[in-house]
Every structure is written in structure tokens, then in C-alpha cells.
Amino acid sequence: LIRLVRSPATLLADDSLKINAEYYISRVIIPPLDRCFSLIGANIPTWYSEMPRKQHLYLPSASSEGGRKATISQYFVTCNCAVCESVTTSGVCPTCQQQPQRLATTLAGKVHVWERKVALVNKICQSCCGRPSEIDCSSLDCPVLYRRHQALKDLRQADYIRDLQRQYLSF
């Protein structure tokens, strides 16, 4: 377990690492909440186990392909369709390949959302730092730092999306 512990700076520097949210929620957050809410009869572990989970699907990025593998999940990579997220052997499943309009709008929409998130977070950072140039904030106490890191991580997938657009769409 101690080998899994990383500093926040290390986590931000290495995109292959991710927080083991399930561990922290179930072992660190739920027990004290359960002690508090058990006074009013609420069962927090049951409530948490019944909650729906959102899995963030990451598409390949230029930095992830061919790089060193740091986590076990990187050795067992499944390829998901960039449009419908179903498991496929290529970047886009055969069903979505037959729908070029949906393919074009979905892929362009993903890139647009990622670019917009980065622009908005950068605007917040620029106003906080007081300068419109490069953002060099490294305050681990700043919640925007983590949002900015996540937005940049998402945006790194844009090259893969653009490759798929070139491969499956002829403009």
C-alpha cells in the first residue's frame, strides 16, 4: 500500500497515475460520515454502494502511446469507440463508421468542449495571477490547479480525435 502513495506534485506530473478514489472514499471518507449519520439512522456504506458510478473514459493520446507503462491497467488496454464508447478493435466502431454525420459532430464536439474548458480555466488562472501570459501557478492549495490539470489532460486526447477525423472523414 505504501508503494501506491504519491505526492500531489508527482500525481500532476505523471498522467499515467490516477487517484484511487474508491479506496479513499470507502476507507477514509465513509467511516466518519457513517458515524455521524448513524445517529439519524442513515446507512452511508449502503447508500454509497447503491450510487451510480461514472467512469471517465480516456482515449489514447500522443503521450500515452508507446510510453512506459506505470500502472497495471495500461498493460490491459481495451479500445473504445470515440463516438459511442463501445468496445471495438479500432478507434471507431463499424456502426458509427456508417454514420458520418454523427461521427463528425461527436468528434468535433469533444474537441470543442476540451478546448473551451482549457480556455475557461486559463482565464480564471490568468485573472488570479494578474497576468495574461503563461500560467505558472503551482499552489497545491488551489482547486483550479487540479481542474486545469484535468482540462489539459483531456485536451491531450484531441490529436487522437483529429487523427480519427482524418482517417474516417473525407472533407
pLDDT in tens, 50-72: 988 776 666 665 555 555 555 55
Q: Cα–chain-centroid distance for residue 19?
A: 11
What pLDDT sits at residue 1? 65
pLDDT one-digit tens code per residue, 96-124: 999 999 999 999 999 999 999 999 999 99
Res 72: pLDDT: 57
Q: Are 90 and 166 in contact (CB under 8 A)?
A: no
pTM of the complete model: 0.71
Q: Are 103 and 92 in contact (CB under 8 A)?
A: yes
What is the Cβ-side half-sphere exposure of residue 113, based on CA atoms within 13 angstroms? 11
| Span 80-100, average pLDDT | 90
Contact 165, 111 (CB under 8 A): no
